[in-house]
A = this chain, B = another copy of it.
Amino acid sequence: MKQQVADRMRGISAFYVMELLQRAKQLEREGRDVIHMEIGEPDFPTPQAVIDAGRALLKTGEVKYTAAAGLPELREAIAEHYVRQYGVKVDPGRVFITPGASGAFLLAFGISLNPGEQVMMADPCYPCNDNFVRLFNGQTHFVNVGADTEYQLTADLIAQNWRPNSKGVLAASPSNPTGTLLNGADLKYAIDQVHRLGGCFYSDEIYHGLIYDQPAATALAHGDDAFVINSFSKFFGMTGWRVGWLVVPDDFVEAAEKLAQNIFISTPTHSQHAALASFTEDNLAELERRRLEFKARRDFLYTNLLKLGFKIACKPEGAFYIYADCSAFTDNSFAFAGELLEREGVAVTPGRDFGKYRADKHIRFAYTASIDRMAEALTRLERFICR
């Protein structure tokens, strides 16, 4: 036996967008202007109140390990957030602070998924999902979804695709890359279906807060048995701080506590203290202003992509992405994205980063750039497709 890479790594690929990102940086070094619409993080800086809280904590010099589950006051603040935002009561003892939603996935699958068990999820979806499952030697069961179900799994799809070795279902609402919701009764039916089948429902709610036309529903409104993954990264503007959370069912509290102790020790202390400042009235008002800016960007980009001849099967209702069908211009969206970058200096993410189903017909635009920059990108895009 040689010193060998683990088998699981054969199934885990780098993100295709990384190649584009490398190339974009190269072009920028050569003096080219690149408009970045590939990046899945808000372009706004972290809100000032949060920065200030982080700096104040650092000033004390006491950046020690916290309890593995997180600062008690942050767990409480998140529980209160559920009351205020959704009218849902959550025991803070079920809230675990994690290094981002990424840490929440590690924890959720670590405590629930056995090797060989399947997790069902939509194709297209966030590329890491499948790889978290592979990390634990589980299997991902992708279910192709389209406009008819707003790119979401439904109770029926879940029942049809359930297998003896299915462990559960992962849903993200709003979805990355489509920005569509699993909301209202559909969310409830999906959760009930999974629980009827005896499985786990993993609800990725990281884009909550960034929703533009209707309030978002949390899985926690439909009982105490869902795993809810969330983060301060996106809505709260704290990507690089690495702080998120996981809410677990009662039966998993002890396991989550034990595993968090072992694999994280704790979540960055200064980031936890800073995150606490997210819930002040002033900061929430600042986040609301940013939400309105994102909404204006969505409307602008949506309207103009349609004008250019992109098809957008479902108007996105949240996150900061538009998943656009570019089959009018190409049947290879990866090559399309590459050429668009080379010729016009506009960076977007190719569909194949999000799955296989009709991936070569789609690209994802992130509206994490200002309307001015997007207007310039649209001019370049028009020139590109009319070449």
**A contacts, CB < 8 Å to B:** 1-9, 12-15, 18, 41, 45-46, 48, 51, 54-55, 58-66, 99-100, 102, 105-106, 110-115, 127-128, 131-132, 135-137, 167-168, 195, 198-200, 225, 238-242, 249, 251-252, 255, 257-259, 261-271
When A2-B198, A270-B270 are in contact, do A58 and B61 touch as well, CB less than 8 Å?
no
Contacting pair A99 B242 (CB below 8 A): yes
Q: Which residues of B contact A46 (CB under 8 A)?
A: 61-63
Shortest CB-to-CB span from A254 to chain B, Å, is 8
Question: What is the bound-complex CA distance between A1 and B105, given in angstroms?
Answer: 22
Contacting pair B251 A5 (CB below 8 A): yes
Interface centre among A60, A61, A62 (most CB of B within 10 A): A61
Apart from the given pairs A55-B55, A135-B263, A242-B266, 19 other A-B contacts in the complex at a CB distance below 8 Å:
A1-B198, A4-B112, A6-B112, A6-B114, A12-B255, A14-B257, A14-B261, A46-B61, A46-B62, A100-B264, A106-B106, A131-B262, A132-B263, A135-B259, A136-B136, A240-B269, A241-B269, A242-B264, A270-B271
Interface centre among A48, A64, A198 (most CB of B within 10 A): A64
Q: Which residues of B contact A266 (CB under 8 A)?
A: 240, 242
Contacting pair A99 B264 (CB below 8 A): yes
Contacting pair A59 B65 (CB below 8 A): no
Question: What are 26 contact pairs spanning A and B, CB under 8 A?
Answer: A3-B225, A3-B249, A6-B110, A6-B113, A6-B136, A9-B111, A14-B258, A48-B61, A55-B55, A55-B58, A55-B59, A63-B238, A63-B241, A65-B239, A99-B242, A102-B263, A110-B135, A115-B137, A128-B263, A131-B262, A132-B263, A135-B136, A241-B268, A242-B267, A242-B268, A268-B271
Contacting pair B106 A240 (CB below 8 A): no
Interface centre among A46, A58, A62, A199 (most CB of B within 10 A): A58
Contacting pair A65 B8 (CB below 8 A): no
Question: What is the bound-complex CA distance between A346 and B382, given in angstroms?
Answer: 73
Contacting pair B13 A258 (CB below 8 A): yes
Give which listed residue, B3, B114, B132, B249, contacts A199 with CB less than 8 A.
B3
Q: Which 6 A-B pairs have the closest CB atoms?
A: A45-B61, A240-B269, A63-B240, A131-B262, A9-B255, A1-B198
Give which listed residue, B2, B66, B115, contacts A240 with CB less than 8 A.
B66
Contacting pair B99 A64 (CB below 8 A): no
Contacting pair B263 A111 (CB below 8 A): no
Q: Which residues of B contact A258 (CB under 8 A)?
A: 9, 12-14
